[in-house]
Amino acid sequence: MVSGLTVSERQLSLAILFLLALCGLAMAAGGRADLLGIHGFIVLAFSGVLFWCVLSGFYDPEPSDERLSQYYDDPTKAGIVFAMIWAVIGMFFGVWVAALLAWPELTFVDQAWASFGRLRPVHTSGVIFGFGGNALIATSFHVLQRTSRARLPDQFSPWFVLIGYNLFCIVAASGYLIGVTQSKEYAEPEWYADIWLVIVWVVYFLIYIRTLQRRKEPHIYVANWYYMAFILVVAVLHIVNNLAVPIGWGSAKSYSVYSGVQDAMVQWWYGHNAVAFFLTAGFLGMMYYYLPKRAGRPIFSYRLSIISFWGITFFYMWAGSHHLHYTALPQWVQSLGMTFSVMLLVPSWASAGNALATLNGAWDKVRTDATLRFMMVAAVFYGLSTFEGSFMAIRAVNSLSHYTDWTVGHVHAGALGWVAMITFGSLYALVPWMWKQERMYSPALVEVHFWLALTGSVVYVFAMWNSGIIQGLMWRTYNDSGTLAYSFVDSLVAMHPYYIARTIGGLCFLLGAAVGAYNIAMTIRMARAGGITDEQDIPVKRPVGVAVQPGE
Can you give the pLDDT of all 552 residues of the chain as single tens digits?
A: 788 899 999 999 999 999 999 999 999 999 888 999 999 999 999 999 999 999 998 998 888 888 888 899 999 999 999 999 999 999 999 999 999 999 998 877 888 999 999 999 999 999 999 999 999 999 999 999 999 999 999 999 999 999 999 999 999 999 999 999 999 999 999 999 999 999 999 999 999 999 999 999 989 999 999 999 999 999 999 999 999 999 998 999 999 999 999 999 999 999 999 999 999 999 999 999 999 999 999 999 999 999 999 999 999 888 999 999 999 999 999 999 999 999 999 999 999 999 999 999 899 999 999 999 999 999 999 999 999 999 999 999 999 999 999 999 999 999 999 999 999 999 999 999 999 999 999 999 999 999 999 999 999 999 999 999 999 999 999 999 999 999 999 999 999 999 999 999 999 999 999 999 999 999 999 998 876 655 567 776 555 444 545 444
Q: What is the pTM of this model?
A: 0.94
**What does the pLDDT look like over 402-456, one tens digit per residue?**
999 999 999 999 999 999 999 999 999 999 999 999 999 999 999 999 999 999 9
Contact present, 224 and 142 (Cβ < 8 Å) = no
What would the pLDDT profile of 125-149 be if each residue is shown by its tens digit? 999 999 999 999 999 999 999 999 9
CA dihedral 169, 172, 175, 176 (to 10 degrees): -110
**pLDDT, position 552:** 45
Q: Which amino acid is at 435?
A: W
For residue 245, the cross-strand partners are 255
Distance CA 196, CA 181 (A): 16
Q: Which residues of 233-244 are buried (b: 16+ CB within 10 A; e: fewer)?
A: bbbebbeebbeb
The gap from C-alpha 9 to its chain's centroid, in whole angstroms, comes to 29
Cα–Cα distance, 94 to 221 (Å, whole number): 36
Secondary structure percentages of the chain, helix, strand, coil, to 5: 75, 0, 25
Q: What pLDDT is recorded for position 540?
A: 62
- Which residues have a Cβ under 8 Å from the Cβ of 444 and sit 6 or more positions away? none
Outline where DSSP puts E strands in 341-486: none
> In angstroms, rounded to a whole number, what is the distance separating the alpha carbons of residues 351 and 519?
30
End-to-end Cα separation, the chain, in angstroms = 37
| The predicted structure's pLDDT at residue 530 | 74
Q: How far is the C-alpha of 441 from the C-alpha of 531, rounded, in Å?
A: 12
- CB burial class (10 A; 0-12, 13-18, 19+) of residue 368? exposed
Rounded CA separation 132/282 (Å): 9
Contact 289, 221 (CB under 8 A): yes
How far is 344 from 93, CA to CA, in rounded Å? Answer: 32
Q: What is the pLDDT of residue 233?
A: 95
**pLDDT of the residue at 149:** 93
Alpha carbon 187 to chain centroid distance? Answer: 13
Based on its alpha-carbon atoms, the radius of gyration of the chain, rounded to whole angstroms, reads 24
Alpha-carbon distance 165 to 156, whole Å?
14
Tell me, what's the pLDDT at 45? 97
Coil, strand or helix at 78: helix
Whether the Cβ atoms of residue 549 and residue 302 lie closer than 8 Å to each other: yes
CA distance 283 to 419: 7
The values of phi and psi at residue 547, to 5°, are -70, 140
Residue 496's pLDDT is 96
Are 267 and 515 contacting, i.e. CB atoms less than 8 angstroms apart? no
What pLDDT sits at residue 61?
Answer: 87
